[in-house]
Homo-oligomer: A and B are copies of this chain.
C-alpha cells in the first residue's frame, strides 16, 4: 500500500493506492464520522462491488443509490435522484457519501455531497483507471449542461481516496485505454521521465500488470496532487492539467455525451493541442509522432471525429471554461514534459490544426 497526501491545509486528505485495500475497514472507517452512509454507484459497478463494499461498512446505516451508467446521465436530473433517496431515507448532515464507480459517479457524488444540506462528507472509491488517476483527486466535482461539459459544479474535497488496483481486473479494455490517456497527459505536461517510462512500459499497462498499474497510478496522483496543492481553485498553474481538454470537451459536446469516452476525447484533444504546439514551433514533428504513436499503441483515437468541422470547434470552444473575458486560452506544450497556458494563439495556425486533425 502506498499513501500519498494532497496538501490543502485543513482540507488535506490521503490517497491510498495498491492491491487488496478495498476489503479492509481500516482505509474507510476512520474517514466516516457519523452512523449514516450513502453509497452511490451505477448499474454496471453495483453487481460487481456493492455488496463487498457494504460488508466492510459493518454496523453503519447504509443506503445505496444505483444510477444509470454513462456520461449522458451526468446532469442535474440524475443528481436529483441522489437527493431524493437521501431525503427519503432521512439522511442528515452527518451522513457520508461514498462514490463507488468511475469519473461520472465520482463527479456527481462529490457534487451531491457539496450541495446536500450545504455540504456533507464524502469518500472516493474509484473503479476505473481514469477516476483513480484524475477525477477522484483534486476536488473538481459537477455535472454537465446541454451547452457545456462540467459547467455546473463545485470545488469540494473528499475525506480520502481509495485506489485499489484489484478493482481494475473487471475494467473493460476500452475504459483502460481511456484512463491511460490521462496518465500520458501527466508525462506530457509536467513529467518527461514518466513519459519515457510510459513509452517503455505501455505493453505492461495494457496487459494490466499489477505493479506497472500501481506505479502509474501513484506517479500520476503525485503529479496531480502537487499541482492541486499549489492551486486548488485553478487560478493559474492547475490549468495545465486541462491539456487536450478544451479540444476534447468540444468533441464530447458535439458528439453528445457518452458517445466518446472522456479519455478518448482527451486523447484526440491532446493530439490537436500538440499539433498546434508543433505548428507554433514549440515542439518538433518527431515529438508529435512520439505522442501519436503512444496513443495508437494504447488504442486511443488520434483524430477528431470526421463529422466535426472547424466551425463546430470554434463555436464550442468559445464557451469552454478556459475562456477568460472572451479570449480563448489554450494549454500548449512548450516542450515534451512542460506545458504552458497562453491566449497568444495564431488563429491561422489553429484553423490549420482543425483541418489537419
Across the interface, A325 reaches (CB within 8 A) one of B92, B116, B153, namely B92
Contact of A140 among B116, B118, B318 (CB under 8 A): B118
Binds B, one of A79-87, A177-185, A222-230: A79-87
Segment with Cβ contacts to B, from A141-149, A186-194, A290-298, A339-347? A141-149
Q: Indicate if the CB atoms of A325 and B35 lie closer than 8 Å.
A: yes
B324 near A114 (CB under 8 angstroms)? no
8 A–B contacts, CB within 8 A, in A order: A76-B80, A80-B145, A83-B145, A87-B147, A90-B326, A92-B324, A114-B154, A115-B153
A155 at the interface (CB under 8 A from B): yes
Give the A interface residue count (CB, 8 A): 39
Residue of B nearest to A90 (CB): B319
Among A79, A117, A148: residue with most chain B CB under 10 A:
A117
Partner of A88, one of B83, B118, B147, B233: B147
> Could you say which residues of chain B place their CB within 8 Å of the CB of A324?
92-94
Q: Which residues of A contact B (CB under 8 A)?
A: 34-36, 76, 79-80, 83-84, 87-88, 90, 92-94, 114-119, 140, 142, 145, 147-148, 150-155, 233, 318-319, 321, 323-326
Give the docked Cα–Cα distance between A153 and B154 (Å). Answer: 11
B83→A118 contact, CB < 8 A: no
A239 shortest CB reach to chain B, Å: 11
A321 to chain B, nearest CB (A): 5
B115 in contact with A152 (CB, 8 Å): yes
Smallest CB–CB gap between A57 and chain B, Å? 16
